């Protein structure tokens, strides 16, 4: 099935809330437990506007058959000493896994970062999330370290890798 990647727009807000709800229910690899996610479409609309009002932040949507099926956010630092760095979060609906959507989203974020004075992209990922780690390694990210027992997921502690990708130069 084909897909395309584009920037989120404020009118995506209702569909993106639904997508987030779906992502949080489908896996335990993201930060929110399903019941903790209470954002409304209006919250999401404001979030899209806020991110796109900042040169060091971005929200991308992967769309298939006119529906959002993947989402990537890059949240840039707000203080002067952090503005060169952006933190990524990523999710693709289970129905669309294995089609290269996450790889395309991360590649698009990397391309954007090189034109946006972003010197560092960073993220954290569960150490057992092999599919996500494969995507990040393929896109030039490296493991910097391990955050031990940084999460408590479904009754057990989970370690995360801290990964980053530096701009050339």
Positions in the binding site for ligand COA (CB under 6 A) = 27, 29-30, 90-92, 97-103, 123, 125, 129-132, 134-135
Comparison of 10 and 133: residue with beta carbon closer to ligand COA: 133
Q: What is the rounded CA–CA span in Å between residue 102 and residue 66?
A: 17
Nearer to ligand COA, 117 or 130 (CB): 130
Nearer of residues 6 and 11 to ligand COA, judged by Cβ: 6
- Tell me how far, at minimum, the Cβ of 50 lies from ligand COA, in Å: 22
How many other CB atoms are found less than 10 A from the CB of residue 169?
5
Cα(136)–Cα(123) distance, integer angstroms: 9
Q: Please name which of 165, 10, 4, 36 lies closest in space to residue 88, comparing C-alpha atoms.
A: 165
What's the length of the chain? 169
Minimum distance between the CB of residue 112 and ligand COA, rounded to whole angstroms?
17
- Work out how close the CB of 169 gets to ligand COA at its nearest, in angstroms, rounded to a whole number: 26
Residue position matching structure tokens 């989970």: 158
């Amino acid at each position: 099935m084909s897909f395309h990647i584009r920037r989120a727009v404020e009118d995506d807000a209702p569909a993106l809330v639904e997508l987030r709800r779906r992502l949080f229910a489908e896996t335990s690899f993201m930060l929110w437990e399903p019941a903790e996610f209470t954002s409304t479409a209006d919250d999401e609309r404001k979030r899209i506007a806020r991110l796109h009002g900042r040169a060091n932040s971005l929200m991308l949507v992967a769309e298939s058959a006119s529906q959002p099926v993947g989402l990537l956010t890059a949240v840039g630092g707000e203080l002067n000493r952090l503005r060169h760095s952006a933190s990524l979060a990523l999710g693709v609906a289970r129905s669309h896994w294995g089609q290269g959507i996450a790889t395309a989203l991360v590649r698009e974020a990397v391309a954007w970062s090189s034109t946006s004075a972003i010197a560092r992209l960073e993220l954290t990922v569960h150490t057992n999330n092999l599919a996500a780690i494969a995507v990040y390694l393929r896109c030039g990210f490296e493991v910097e370290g391990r955050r031990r027992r940084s999460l408590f997921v479904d009754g057990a502690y989970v370690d995360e890798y801290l990964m980053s990708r530096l701009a050339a130069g």
